[in-house]
Structures are given as structure tokens and as C-alpha cells.
Amino acid sequence: MITIYLKQYNKVVNNADVKLFEELAHDDILWIDLMEPTIKERRVVENYLEINLQTEQQVEEIETTSKYSESENAVICNSNYLTLSGDSFSVDPVSFIITRGVMVSVRSTELRSLTEAAKRLQMNFGSYPTGYHILISVLEVRIDYDADLIEVLVKQITALSKELLVSKRVSTEIIKHINILQENTMLIRESIFDRQRVLSGIQRSIRFPHDVASKITLMIKDVASLINHTDFNSERLDYLQETAMGLMNIEQNNVTKIFTVAAVFFMPPTMIASIYGMNFHNMPELGWKHGYYIALGLMVVSAALSYLYFRWKKWL
């Protein structure tokens, strides 16, 4: 699907026909948004702007040069965008190319940050005279959304921390939840690092207008603070994991202690039963009329004395 944001007419053309490019000049267009484009749509845009759109493999590369680069006539930015679905995140790669003052975005799914940037553009076309301004707006919205994702994680970590403190036992569900939150924190951190590398490249570029320099500086500071916040969340989750493992060890030690004490309780009765179970002919107790009951009494008394001794020592 192609969506075209026209500059001169302050107009948006959704599901645009590829034949429309035959009628438009480059100065007429601000932004071409391609969502799940067909091969024909990609070729039309490439021929119209005389560029090569990024392949999915190029967008997903992790090298710094693949995140931001400049050619003779274009600026290329690639980034991974996170979307929250349930308790986990999905990663969607997005490619941006700016050439002739026109921004082209290529994506495979609906993204909140691009939708919000499009709303801002439609509300105030005059504030976005070039594709460079639109890209800065998209990055601004994305950083705000990253902050929202971090806030969601903070709430989940706080709730989990309270549950861990209130709960008397550590379940496997709590351990799994901690692992999921650790994975989500790592994904957010990687996503924010993507933004940092793109902004660093933009800050060094001489192609971006001077009127966006202050916004770029502010966004770099915001990204740095978000990275610090994700580091804090990661440390907090590590602490929760250590706490949970400590509680599990305590539970296991208590179980081992119970079995140890029970074994000690039954050692004297077991010894008495073993002695009188030997049945040697010259054992004088074999002739006792009440020997059986005396042996049982000795077993009970020995177990009771063991129990009282452990209570006196405060081992129980």
C-alpha cells in the first residue's frame, strides 16, 4: 500500500495509484509511505526517485553503517521498532530514505509512531517543509513511545516485586515472568541504541536543516536518559532474580531440614527396634512378660526426648 503526503496541496492520498507519480513532481511530495509494498510499487518509487530501496536483509543488519549512511544523493536510516503485544514485544524493521527532499518509509506493519507522526503532519503541514523535518518528527514520536514502553515495564517490575515480597513461596511462574521482563528490557535497550546511532549520524550530517539542530540535541539527551533507565531496570530485575533464587534455596533448605530432623527423631526408636529384633537365644529380655510394651515405650520416650532436645536448642 502506498500513502503519499503532498506538499503543495496539504493533502494525503491513501492507497495511491502508481500512475499518480506520472503527474507529480518531486517538489509536490513530502513523504511516501510504503506498507507491505508489492514488487511493482517498489519499482515505481525507485524509478521515480532514482534510488534503490533497502532490502529486508539490509534493514536488519546490526552494523553502525547500516543504521545510518549517506550516499551522493540520499540519506538512509534503518531501525527496529518494537510493538507491545500482551507481555512480549515484536520487532519490526523500518527503513527511511530521504532524497530530493522527499522521505520514503518502508515497513511491513502498522506502527503507532508513524501514525502519530502522520497526524502531526496533517495538523500542521507548514512545520514540515521537507522530508528531513518529517524524519525528525518520526524520531521524536518514537522516543516518546520508547519512554512509554519503559514506564509499562517499570509498572510490571514493581508489581512483580510486591508479589515476590508478599508471596511466601516462589513459583515457577514468577521465575518465568522475571525472565520475560529481562528479555523485554534487553529488546527495549537495543531499540533505543538504534535510535542513538541514527541520531548520532544525523547530528554529524550537514544535510539536515539548521532549525532542527536543537531538537536533535534534546533527543540525544532523552535517549541517553532512557538508556540509563533501562540499565536501572535491568539491575532491578537481576536483584529480583537473585531474591527469588534465594527464597527458593531457603525453601529447599527448610525441606532438607525437616527430613534431617525427622531422621534424627527416628534414629533412637530404630536402634531400639534393631536391638530387640535380633532374637538371640540368650537375650534376657526375650523372656519378659511385658517386654514388647517396654520396648514400644522406650521408642516413644527416645523420640520425645529427641524432640524436646531440638526445641531446647531452638533448632525447630
**pLDDT per residue over 31-73, tens digit each?**
888 888 888 888 888 888 888 887 776 666 655 456 788 888 8
pLDDT of residue 63: 57
Q: pLDDT over 70 for what percent of the chain?
A: 93
Q: How confident is the model at residue 245 (pLDDT cuts 50, 70, 90)?
A: confident
Tell me, yes or no, whether 73 and 190 share the same domain: yes
Q: Which residue has the higher pLDDT, 159 or 288?
A: 159
Tell me, yes or no, whether 85 and 211 share the same domain: yes
pLDDT of residue 219: 92
Indicate if the pLDDT at residue 253 is higher than 80.
no
Q: How confident is the model at residue 91 (pLDDT cuts 50, 70, 90)?
A: confident
What is the chain's mean pLDDT, rounded? 83
Indicate if the pLDDT at residue 215 is higher than 80.
yes
User: Of 78-82, 164-168, 200-204, where does the model show the most confidence?
Assistant: 200-204
Q: Residues 180, 157: contact at Cβ < 8 Å?
A: no
Tell me, yes or no, whether 242 and 273 share the same domain: no
Q: Which of 231, 249, 267 is the last residue of a domain?
A: 249
Tell me, yes or no, whether 150 and 277 share the same domain: no
Mean pLDDT of 255-268: 77
pLDDT of residue 15: 67
**Of 52-66, 75-89, 96-110, 152-166, where does mean pLDDT reach its minimum?**
52-66
**Of 31-45, 62-76, 87-101, 220-234, where does mean pLDDT reach its minimum?**
62-76
Tell me, yes or no, whether 172 and 143 share the same domain: yes
Tell the residue number behind the cell numbers 532549525, with chain if given.
Answer: 211
Q: Which of 249, 278, 294 is the last residue of a domain?
A: 249
Tell me, yes or no, whether 308 and 162 share the same domain: no
Q: Which CATH number covers residue 80?
A: 3.30.460.20
Tell me, yes or no, whether 149 and 241 share the same domain: yes
Tell me, yes or no, whether 156 and 180 share the same domain: yes
Burial class (CB in 10 A: 0-12, 13-18, 19+), 59: buried
Tell the residue number behind the cell numbers 522475571, with chain if given.
Answer: 178
CA distance 75 to 68: 8
What is the tally of structural domains in the chain? 2
Q: Which of 198, 226, 249 is the last residue of a domain?
A: 249
| Domain ranges, residue 262 | 255-312
Indicate if the pLDDT at residue 286 is higher than 80.
no
Cell representation of residue 270: 530404630
